[in-house]
Amino acid sequence: MKTSINEERGNINVLFEHPDETEVSPEWHLGERTIQFAWIPPGQPLALKQPARRNLVKVISGFLVQPGRRAFCEPRGLQDTSFNGERIVAGAEGAFVTIVTEAEVTPVHAMDELTFGGPLSEALVWRSFDEQFGHVTDAFSGADAYIGPGFHLICDTGEETCFLNIWTAGKGVDLTTHNHGHDPSPLAPAFAETHLVISNGTGAGGMYECAEPGAEKTRYPIADGFEHGPFFDIDNETGQPVMLPSGAVFYPWHGWEAGTDDDPRQSYDLVFAFETLPSMVKIG
């Protein structure tokens, strides 16, 4: 296991070097939460941190037999990632997982509650969506939403299997209608995306899809601790993502919109976006 700063794309590389051994990353802190990544060989167990208010176990690839859980649930469905047992056990393919441990399950009212700590955490810097994307669009001007910190998860062959991109959205923020249709590049590779909601600020935030930007939205609220199934199109014969001629994954128009409520305090949606290498994805 090695960690390093990704000089080209920023954030942190986490390299798993030994596929025949259980490998567990260092811990990173995100406020009162901790984040770890682990590769578990076929049939092997991994003890979870105890006691904890809540452990969230997101499968990135492979599957678990305890609890019974795969990387992807049904398209546009929901999967609870919480698990209160003492250990998880990998299935016949092994399992690559992210584990989020929470001391308390509380809303996020201010960004200073989400300070990062841990190895190389100087690379984990929040930036507003407007700072990040203002050079190409004014869609995020004034939006109380932040992006930037993340982890590049790399297998023993040197291939990036998944990028965990972490972001927040304040009340009522629409993170724009998009379809990831840009041509892939080394700095922006193709990916199959799902989201794990760590905290839903108002309880009403969630994904939506529509026929085109500005059209009526079909909404899919996602509660704390749940992840959604694929919004990208799937080839029914192979179970893999449908690819465009450019090499990008085919998505319908979709987006994330935070909810609103009558509480005068801000409450952020805190979301982990898992951008998985398309060739690793198989649904069903």
pLDDT confidence of residue 105: 84
Residue 51 has pLDDT above 80, yes or no: no
Residues 6+ apart with CB under 8 A from 7: none
The one-letter amino acid code at 77 reads G
Average pLDDT on 233-259 reads 97
- When pLDDT is cut at 50, 70 and 90, the band that residue 52 belongs to is confident
Q: Contact 228/205 with Cβ under 8 angstroms?
A: no
Question: What pLDDT, on the 0 to 100 scale, is given for residue 93?
Answer: 95
Q: Output the pLDDT for position 120.
A: 97
Give me the mean pLDDT over the 113-141 stretch: 95
What is the set of domains in the chain, with CATH numbers?
2-102 (2.60.120), 111-280 (2.60.120.990)
- DSSP code of 48? P
**Mean pLDDT for all residues in the chain:** 96
Residues 155-176: pLDDT tens digits? 999 999 999 999 999 999 999 9
* Sign of the Cα pseudo-torsion (191, 34, 120, 158, in order): negative
Is it true that the peptide bond before 19 is cis, omega within 30 degrees of 0? Answer: no
Helices (H), ranges, 24-177: 129-133
Q: One-letter amino acid identity for 280? A: M
Region 238-254: mean pLDDT is 97
Q: What pLDDT, in 10s, does the model give residues 39-48?
A: 999 999 999 9
Mean pLDDT of the region 242-249: 97
pTM for this prediction: 0.97
Averaged pLDDT for residues 108-114: 97
Confidence of residue 38 (pLDDT cuts 50, 70, 90): very high
Range with the poorest average pLDDT among 14-18, 52-56, 65-69, 74-78: 52-56
* Nearest alpha-carbon partner for 232 in 174, 199, 270, 273: 273
Model pLDDT for residues 64-84, shown as the tens digit of each residue: 999 999 999 999 999 999 999
